[in-house]
Amino acid sequence: MSSFDLRRLRLRSGEEHRVEVPVELEPLEFGGVRYVSVPEEAPAELRVIRASTGTVFELRFHSRLHGPCQRCLGDAVLERSVSAREYQATNPGNEDELRNPYLKDDLLDLTGWARDALVLALPHQILCRPDCAGLCPVCGKDLNLEPHEHEETEPDSRWSALAELRDRL
C-alpha cells in the first residue's frame, strides 16, 4: 500500500509542493468482476497546496485496467486518466466535507484514494470494444465471432408432448 508522509513537508500558507510518487493500484471489483491494473504500480503526481484555512490535495495518474468484457466475457482493456482532489481544513470541526478521508495522522493513503478515484472514473460498463455484440441470449455463443440470429422459436416437441400429457391428466 502506498502512502505519503506529510510530515516531510513544511508548507506555509500559499506554498505548494509537487511530487512524483509511485502508487500501488489494487485490483478492484466492478460489476461483480475483478479488474487488475497493469502495471500494478503507476507513477502519480501529487500536489499539496497550503491555504490559510486548510490544505488542498490533488492526485493525477494514468491507469490501464485488464479484465473481462461485461458483454462477451472476452479480454477488455480500459485506459483512464484520473485526477482527484481532496481538502482538509485546519479546523474541520464536525464537518465531514472539510476532512480528507484518506488522511490519518499525517499519512496520506494514496492506494485507497487512487482506487476510489479510479472507480468514480469508470464508464457504465467495461467492454472489449464499444460495439461489442455480446453473447447470444438464446444459445450463449459469442456474437462477435459468430454473428447469427435464431428463427422464431418453434414450440419444442418435448414440451408439446408434455403439454399433451398434462391435458390428458
Residues at the site binding Zn ion, with contacts judged by CB under 5 A: 69, 71-72, 74, 128, 132, 136, 138-139
10 Å Cβ neighbour count for 55?
Answer: 19
Choose between 71 and 115: whose C-beta lies nearer to Zn ion.
71
Least gap, CB of 30 to Zn ion (angstroms): 15
Which helix (H) or strand (E) is 16 found in, with range? Answer: strand 16-24
Of the pair 11, 136, the CB lying nearest Zn ion is at 136
The helix (run of H) or strand (run of E) holding residue 1 is none
Residue 72 or 118 having the CB closest to Zn ion: 72
Eight-state DSSP code of residue 102: T
Taking the complex as a whole, how short is the minimal distance between the CB of residue 148 and Zn ion, in angstroms? 6
The CA distance from 131 to 119, in Å, is 22
At residue 7, φ and ψ (nearest 5 deg) are -65, -15
Shortest distance (Å) from residue 59 CB to Zn ion: 31
